[in-house]
Amino acid sequence: MKRFSSLFLLAIAALTLNFTVASAQDDKLNQFSFEDVPTEEAKPPYFAVSGGFISTWLFANVADLNTLTNSVVGANFNSPFVLLGGEAFAAIGIIPNVRVGIMSIGGTNTLQSASAGSQPTRQAEYSINMLGLSLDYAWTPFKGFSLIPGVRGGTGAINYEISQSASATQAYPIFPIASTSNSMRRLRSNMLFVMPNLNIEYAFTLVSMVRLNVGYNVSFMQDWRADNVSTITGVPASINATGLTAQVGLFVGLFNN
């Protein structure tokens, strides 16, 4: 009987102890909040649908180009060449942070000789045009600011025209040419180009963005032709659209960064 009483008291003590521990744990559970659990916020992929204006400076080699030009008009072209145009692109999350686009840029530079007595006035016109696609990958270290390496590639052309005229005014029609002092020659070459580059972009609102861009354009010139007909041999290889590039741009559209 005494042994039974002892076991009964021991059981009562154990139950009391368990109840006390459980009550303490319940009090801690009541103080616990899911807001206290640290959560890692998932960062959405880069999103943009936009188009805008771009101005590109191409630092091309003009030494051989100016050897020819100076002999014609007595003046030189200056590098860099300014190429104006536009670009449109989209990154809609099909492949996270990847965007694709299309760009078109071009520019024309003109030099003219000074009139001197009976000598005809001469003019040299040099133009570069490029049309291509872009493929970029966006990294956004903080809101609104993106570093976007990528590559552009496509087709283009260089046109070089030399013309001269004995008079500032002529009667219509201009054909047949009445004087051997009036003439025009044209050199043209189509090309392929590849332009790796880095875009530094800042979306200062949800619908507007500015860009700084640096890159290097590599051009692959095709055959040079005179007046769109005859193939010209011996054109210096340095007359091309290869060189460092710098670009600024202003875009409007939708951005989530």
pLDDT of residue 170: 64
Q: Is the pLDDT of residue 3 over 50?
A: no
* Residue 161 φ then ψ, to 5°: -120, 135
What is the reported pLDDT for 29?
45
Q: What is the signed CA dihedral for 59, 62, 63, 68, rounded to 10 degrees?
A: 180
Per domain, the residue ranges of the chain are 2-36, 48-255
pLDDT for 168: 64
47-71 pLDDT, tens digit each: 999 999 999 999 999 999 999 999 8
Query: In the chain, what is the straight-line distance between the N-terminal and C-terminal CA atoms, in Å?
Result: 80
| Tokens of residue 189, six digits | 């070459």
Confidence of residue 122 (pLDDT cuts 50, 70, 90): confident
pLDDT digits (tens, 9 = 90+) for 137-184: 999 998 899 999 999 999 999 999 998 877 666 666 666 655 567 778
98: left (phi over 0), alpha (psi -120 to 50) or beta: beta
The per-residue pLDDT for 244 is 98
Residue 6 has pLDDT above 60, yes or no: no
How far is residue 162's CA from residue 125's CA, in Å, rounded to a whole number? Answer: 7
Name the nearest CA neighbour of 113 among 179, 185, 162. 162
pTM of the model: 0.78
Who contacts 162 (Cβ-Cβ below 8 Å, separation ≥6)?
Answer: 72, 122, 123, 124, 184, 185, 186
Q: Peptide bond preceding 173: is omega within 30 degrees of 0, i.e. cis?
A: yes
Query: Could you tell me the pLDDT band of residue 27, with boundaries at 50, 70 and 90?
Result: low
How does pLDDT run across 81-106, given as a tens digit for each residue?
A: 999 999 999 999 889 999 999 999 99
pLDDT confidence of residue 10: 45
Is 113 within 8 Å of 123 (Cβ atoms)? Answer: yes
pLDDT at residue number 185: 86
Residue with tokens 């003439």: 183
- CATH domain 48-255 topology: Porin (2.40.160)
**Spatial distance between the Cα atoms of 170 and 176, rounded to a whole number of angstroms:** 12
Q: What is the spatial distance between Cα 160 and Cα 66, in angstroms, rounded to a whole number?
A: 12
